[in-house]
Chain A
């Protein structure tokens, strides 16, 4: 245990206990744990909704739920998975790891950190009670397009306020992360010595601050259109429903990178450890991440090629979209080059990270197909789109988070997880997720529209296979839950470094780390930095 850690441990080991510890905590590790547990709970809530969707689509015809409820399931599944699982999950990683990675004692604004988290359960209560209000839950899709969204019953103000609260939570979290990274780095921790995970979160935080207020503005306009007689999106009153699509996707496309950039950061930490080599092209990774974030502001209309834009607009957004493939390709090249001629071992975090690189690339390539304007006229609003973004978000963001959980769980809990069960979880998840989502490419290319509870019999076989894959994938995640609970409760004692090839300040701390760390800042050198 380093001298800095001992120093902090001796003088600051007092902390509240019981429920007050979790309600009033300002400790970054406690708040990180709260975020991650919340994300895990929401993963099963959103997953249960996905099971309803796949059960209904198991066979053609209406089976188990009415059409309104089915549409509520698709809407809420997306909102829960995006705002309740991936965003809080990656913020949980940020809370746990950023102070430990940069040698800071805590986040810059610990009380605001507490607020950022505790807004979330309140917001999701608002969102999920809509299933029980007159008119049912929101059913117009997570994109909330008017005029369909304006037909929502009593659920609408609940959804709008929930989105506002979720946005406030994200903005406060982002402010905290930026202030922490800018102001609280240990001596010697220059920007170009930051671990790549820290870089990706710094850039993601700026994306959040720039785009979440845009979403808030858009949904406020929806609210005033519905209840205060405005006509932002009402053609009869001089408004334009397509305006909402532009404003929403000006938020929505950077949001995609908000979800995936921290995943890039996690994978960029894991691959060098199990390749026993430094990350290939560290500086180019930083610039590629920044380029992706910058370009994400200029591609929003590729989500709406079919609304009837001028040809020049369609060409601009098509080429801008293609250009994002360049920095993304740089990242994939660097990940593969990191592994090239490395001394590879295949523990569970590495397996999930490699799976991420391969399967996320499939999602990236189908994204390129969707970005080609004339091709998108065929693919738009079909199951091809569903297949694309689930490869990006499930085998991309979620797989990276799973890799990160296996990688840092021994550090967080002080116990090694069950490696055999971890490997089972990996193989079950990887096989079943492909059975679940790959056939959806075929369904989309054959013309099956998304967001429908019933379909023509020609789509029956692939839907049946996809649903079976979905059920196996869903059940596999119960194994993930069991592995986490088992690891928290006990197991083989983890060493401080945990992984032979791991580098960085967090591995100089004990496993689990003391409640307060780095009260005396460590001196960072090239030897103790990321490489």
Chain B
């Protein structure tokens, strides 16, 4: 719920925000995998 339209097709700022959210969450998921797999491996 931000400024302007909530449609990323017409609101580039929202599209960028969606991408940033996705990247952060993907990094969290990868980190958990690394901790549990490489953590035991090393």
Interface residues of A (CB under 8 A from B): 103-106, 108-109, 112, 171, 174-176, 178-179, 182-187, 189-190, 209-214, 216-218, 220-221, 230, 232, 243, 247, 518-521
Contact = CB atoms under 8 A, between A and B. Distances in A.
12 contacts: A104-B6, A106-B7, A108-B22, A109-B22, A183-B21, A185-B1, A187-B6, A209-B25, A209-B29, A217-B36, A220-B37, A247-B36
Given A105-B7, A213-B30, A213-B33, A175 B22 contact: yes
B2 to A, nearest CB: 7
B33 A109 contact: no
B10 to A, nearest CB: 8
Nearest to B40: A232
Given A218-B36, A221-B37, A179 B7 contact: no
Contacts, number: 91
Nearest to B1: A185
A183 B25 contact: no
Contacts of B30: 213
Given A185-B1, A186-B1, A213-B30, A179 B6 contact: no
Contacts of B17: 183
B31 to A, nearest CB: 8
B29 A112 contact: no
Contacts of A247: 36, 40
Contacts of B37: 216-217, 220-221
A171 B32 CA distance: 12
A444 B12 CA distance: 59
A209 B27 CA distance: 10
Given A175-B21, A183-B1, A216-B33, 18 more contacts: A106-B7, A108-B22, A182-B21, A183-B2, A185-B6, A187-B1, A189-B1, A209-B28, A209-B29, A211-B32, A212-B29, A213-B32, A217-B36, A220-B37, A221-B40, A221-B41, A230-B41, A243-B40
Nearest to A112: B22
A171 B26 CA distance: 8
Interface of B: 1-2, 5-9, 14, 17-19, 21-22, 25-26, 28-30, 32-33, 35-37, 40-41
Contacts of A190: 1
A307 B2 CA distance: 51
Contacts of A213: 29-30, 32-33, 36
Contacts of B8: 108, 184
A243 B36 CA distance: 11
A521 B41 CA distance: 49
A252 to B, nearest CB: 13
Contact of B25 (A106, A178, A518): A178
B6 A184 contact: yes
A103 B40 CA distance: 44
Contacts of A230: 41
Nearest to B19: A109
A138 B9 CA distance: 45
Contacts of A103: 6
A521 to B, nearest CB: 5
A217 B33 contact: yes
Contacts of A189: 1
Nearest to A189: B1
A298 B37 CA distance: 20
Contacts of A183: 1-2, 6, 14, 17-18, 21
A186 B1 CA distance: 6
